């Protein structure tokens, strides 16, 4: 499977715990995005990497959230001290650098439930 993959697909945790999600983009894609999607809403932008550099973070990304892409390949998104409001689907997407490609390819997402 050469598409974007995410792990785990589902995560249930208790409030206050830390969680970490992983995203493996399409191998030749330089750009990697994290989005959050809640029920009945479109994906909301969280952060963006170009290769290993994190170039933009949304104000939605509080200081409890941190993302890395250490070697410019896979990325991790960590949420510390989870809150019930963090419950959502976390989507990862990747694309090539413009003008080679603007389409973002999405992974299947990680559904987080905070109890």
Partner 1 sequence: GENVEQHPSTLSVQEGDSAVIKCTYSDSASNYFPWYKQELGKRPQLIIDIRSNVGEKKDQRIAVTLNKTAKHFSLHITETQPEDSAVYFCAASVTDSWGKFQFGAGTQVVVTP
Alpha-carbon distances, residue 35 vs 23, 44, 100 (angstroms):
12, 5, 22
Binding mask 6-25 for partner 1 (x = CB under 8 A): --------------------
DSSP state of 9: S
Using CB under 8 A, which of 7, 44, 52, 68 touches partner 1? 44
- Stretch binding partner 1 (CB under 8 A), from 21-29, 48-56, 62-70, 72-80: 48-56
**Pair type for strands 10-13 and 110-114:** parallel
Report if residue 107 touches partner 1, rule: CB under 8 A.
yes
Judged by CB under 8 A, the residue of 8, 28, 51, 56 near partner 1 is 56
Angle at 65 between CA 92 and CA 30, to 5 degrees: 35
33 touches partner 1 (CB under 8 A): yes
């Amino acid at each position: 499977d050469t598409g974007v993959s995410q792990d785990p697909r589902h995560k249930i945790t208790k409030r206050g715990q830390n969680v970490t999600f992983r995203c493996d983009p399409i191998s030749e894609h330089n750009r990697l995005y994290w989005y959050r999607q809640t029920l009945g809403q479109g994906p909301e932008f969280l952060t963006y990497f170009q290769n290993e550099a994190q170039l933009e973070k949304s104000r939605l990304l509080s200081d409890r959230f941190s993302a890395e892409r250490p070697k410019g390949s896979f990325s991790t998104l960590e949420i510390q001290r989870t809150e019930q409001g963090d419950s959502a689907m976390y989507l990862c997407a990747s694309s090539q650098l413009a003008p080679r490609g603007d389409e973002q390819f999405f992974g299947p997402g990680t559904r987080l439930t905070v109890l």
